[in-house]
Structure 1
Amino acid sequence: MTRFVAAVLAGAVGAFVPDSAVAQAKRYPLESVASLRLHNVIAEPATFEGKRGLRITATPEAARQEGEPPMLAWIEGLDFSNGIIEAEVAGAPASGASAGARGFVGIAFRLQIDTETQGKATYDVFYLRPTNGRAEDQERRNHATQYISYPDWTWSRLRQETPSKYESYVDLEADRWTKIRIEVRGERARLYVHGQQQPALIVNDVKSGANRRGAVALWIGSGTVAHFRNLIVTPESDSARAK
């Protein structure tokens, strides 16, 4: 019996991330642009649906660019590889946006960018397409959430090569605060929405690899007006990676 109990306890300990592997949570209310670096976006404090946060839109120059330029606001001095990222986000198509606009809004992680020129960027991102959540078209609903890895693994490439693997359905509304939680451990990442215990989207082959590090950023897509608030980042050490 003693050996059995010891074995059970050993297994239980192995199933949890040790406290020593988890750093203290870092909180960013996002009520000002302090501590943010901007790339192709305009950020300004705003009260939305009675809550203070940041309103983020594309710069006029980025809005005119062809393709999908990276549009980011990243936290200065925050180095992230594994851990948990939580935030409240809201997105909707901007006035005059193209018919393909969906209110793209999300969180990028492991961001690396040329800080001298703010030029070439690489990052992973989970994002939402809020107008797809309740669309009267099942295919659009199935594309309500998305994972991509910029610049090589775009949504269009992933959808063409591995249909439905990096997208999923979740109930969403445009212009509504939505709680999201991202868990990243090595090559595995999970997106949770609305405080649900089960993930809305599972990725077991994060394209940046198991060892990549970088910044955490607020992310928007083309033709979007987005709001962000209450960002919480809880880093974990490399020993916390999923086995």
Structure 2
Amino acid sequence: MNLTMKVYLIFGCLFFSWCSILAQTKVIELTGNKELLPVNVNIAEVDYEKKKSVKVTAIKGNETALVKINDVDFTNGIIELDLAGKRQEDSHPMNRGFVGVAFRITDDNVKFEQFYLRAANGRADDQVQRNHTAQYSSYPDYHFDVLRKESPEKYEAYVDMVPGEWTHVKIEVEGGKAKLYVHGNSQPTLIVNDLKLGANARGAIGLWVGGGTDAHFANLKVTQRE
């Protein structure tokens, strides 16, 4: 094989590898998307802090509150998006502005994994609150209070953030493990090595919001890996 053929072969392999990666990556437009299914939330398309976004607020009295993206069946891969959360003015003063991402949501919306942020904790004066800024939990059996009691500090971490400001989030999921990256950092903010629904769970992706929070979401991108 001469040098020219080797060069073509190398570039050909790189091209097909690149195309394969692109084929697995999907940019999901949130505004104008008819595949968004509100689950115990109100949604609206708004311009927020220079981004076209979906505003999500929870309907009071419901434990599960999210926007389910029906056209994504997710097992392993990467979820990236921008999100912003802040406490509603008329909510309880202790509300922290809960905003995050759910994944592997079952058809009945009962089971899912999630990472979320408590926006007001990022720059709180109380160090304990700061330590509880980023959170992993799993529905229906492993809410934050159960995990905090059973394994203090294991499923929570600190990350700097400001209520109401856009925050870039990336979640990497592989089997029974997941990592949360914030602000484009190369190192994860939070690592979970024992996802509670198991390594083979699969399902939809959702934009998750806690009660008493104004949440905004934009620029969702999903890369699937089998």
With normalisation by structure 1, the TM-score equals 0.82
Is the 1:21–1:236 Cα contact (8 Å) retained in structure 2? no
- Go from structure 1 to structure 2 and tell me whether the alpha carbon gap of 1:86 and 1:131 turns closer, same or farther (over 3 Å shift): same
Amino acid at match of 1:139: V
Per residue, is there more strand in 1 or in 2? 2
Q: Which structure 1 segments of 5+ residues have no match? A: 1-17, 115-119, 238-243
Q: Secondary structure at the match of 1:163?
A: coil
Q: Which amino acid is 1:102 matched to?
A: R
Q: Number of residue pairs matched? A: 210
Contact 1:88 1:229 in 2 (8 A): yes
The alignment status of 1:95 with 2:84, answered yes or no, reads no
Comparing 89-98 with 172-181, greater Cα deviation is found at: 89-98
Shift of 1:137: 0.7
User: Does residue 1:180 correspond to 2:169, yes or no?
Assistant: yes
8 Å Cα contact 1:88/1:230 also seen in 2: yes
Change over 3 Å in CA distance of 1:33–1:102 after alignment to 2: farther
What's 2:74 paired with? 80
CA distance in 2, matches of 1:223, 1:121: 21
For residues 20 and 148 of structure 1, the distance between their equivalents in structure 2, rounded to whole angstroms, comes to: 32
State the match for 2:5 in structure 1.
Answer: none
CA distance in 1, matches of 2:203, 2:99: 20
**Deviation for aligned residue 1:222:** 1.3
Tell me what 1:209 maps to.
Answer: 198
CA distance in 1, matches of 2:21, 2:163: 37
Amino acid at match of 1:224: T
Pair 1:106-2:100 in alignment: yes
**Structure 1 outlier segments of 4+, above 4 Å:** 18-23
Counterpart CA distance in 1 for 2:19 and 2:157 is: 32
Alignment deviations for residues 64-83 of structure 1 (CA, whole Å, 9 cap, x no partner) = x2xx6110111112100000
Report 1:165-176 matches (<5 A). 165-176=154-165
Write the mapping of 1:134-153 to structure 2, written as runs, cut at 5 A.
Answer: 134-153=123-142
- Following superposition, the deviation at residue 87 of structure 1 comes to 0.4
Identity %: 47
Q: CA RMSD in A?
A: 1.8
**Which string of whole-angstrom CA distances, capped at 9 and with x for unpartnered residues, describes residues 34-74 of structure 1?**
21011000111011111111100012xxx1x2xx6110111
What do the CA deviations read for 1:187-229 (whole angstroms, capped 9, x no partner)? 1100000000000000000011000010000000111110000
